Amino acid sequence: MTFPFTIKNDFQYEVVGLIYEGGMGVVYEAQQQGARGFQKRVAIKVVRDKYTKQKDFIENFIGEAKLVADLIHTNIVQTYHFGEAKGIWFITMELIRGVNLEQFTHRLHASKTVLPVHLAVFIVSRIARGLAYAHSKSAHDGKPLGIVHRDVSPKNIMIAFEGDVKLTDFGIAKARGFLKDQEGEVVAGKADYMSPEQADFQVTDKRSDLFSAGIVLAQLLLGRNIFNADNPEESRRRVLRMSIPDFTKTTPVLEPRLNQILQKALARKLEDRYQTAEELLYDLEFFIYHRGYGPTNETLGKFVRHLFEQDHTTPAADPSRGGTILLSSASQSTNSTRM
């Protein structure tokens, strides 16, 4: 499909800009229109035309929508609606006015700005909060869903200009009864943010996400991803075999307690790694709050706004590009961003 475009049916969304283009889908900013002048800005994740005829892909897209519909947490992007109209499959989600962590780190580098340690730890602690919630989520029958995100990486971590940190994109997550899973046959995720078990085509559990969170924390503290290489195969090799350094020696200003947290998060042996996101969250929050007052959403928001020299009202999309999407209420199946 091209942008702008229109589908005429019951639900009306006026597209006001493009947020993100991925290989398999596009995310737009849109204004939802309702009765008596009701309006709400949302993000709409739309499947690209060439994938709409691929049954397995659409089944996983539907599974993702159903999975995230009940993930209601301040550190996870919220899903509002899922549907299909005239061959277009879409998920309507919470619109985050802000940037993803990849854009954030690029701006830090470009502006030669040093991220304060307490803010780096705060960001990852919020991700740990979101993971703790997702990992413990149960189905309506009370049985654990066994959710593993499998793609905890900077592109999937949003920071709002108000300072909220949110995990997004459960498109390759695994969970009982929702998404088709080919672990052991294919490898899913970004190579330089994988856990060793991911990189080795093994079955993963929630501890895999904690290794990935450890990579993100190390990157924020060191200014680089220690596993990043020129190609995915070399990145995977580093994840599997590269020695994890004593970070107090490579980065002398790093406090020993943070080195201990990183060593535990990046432990290759599962029994040596953090066993739950709650354990990681406790250590991160104790580090930043044990002396008393520590960072808050407001503290982070002020830093992000200053870094990008704009406030939280700045549009996330280009308002000069527009269109109208009208989506059928008959196709609605659930009540969370990116592809």
> Catalytic positions, please?
151
Tokens coding 199: 């990189």
Cα radius of gyration (the chain): 20
The residue assigned the tokens 């490898």 is 187
Distance from CA of residue 125 to its chain's centroid?
14
- Bridge partners, residue 174, by sequence: 148
3-state secondary structure 35-56: HHHCEEEEEEEEECHHHCCCHH
Q: How far apart are the first and last CA of the chain?
A: 16
Pairing relation of β-strands 39-47 and 323-327?
unpaired
Between the alpha carbon of residue 173 and those of residues 67, 68, 146, 249, 279, the distances in Å are 9, 10, 10, 36, 21
Between the alpha carbon of residue 24 and those of residues 20, 30, 187, 194, the distances in Å are 11, 19, 17, 21
- Bridge partners, residue 81, by sequence: 92
238, 244, 248, 253 alpha-carbon torsion, rounded to 10°: 30
Q: How many Å apart are CA 327 and CA 46, to the nearest integer? A: 12
Q: How many Å apart are CA 171 and CA 42, to the nearest integer? A: 19
At what angle are helices 117-135 and 297-308 packed, to 10 degrees? 120
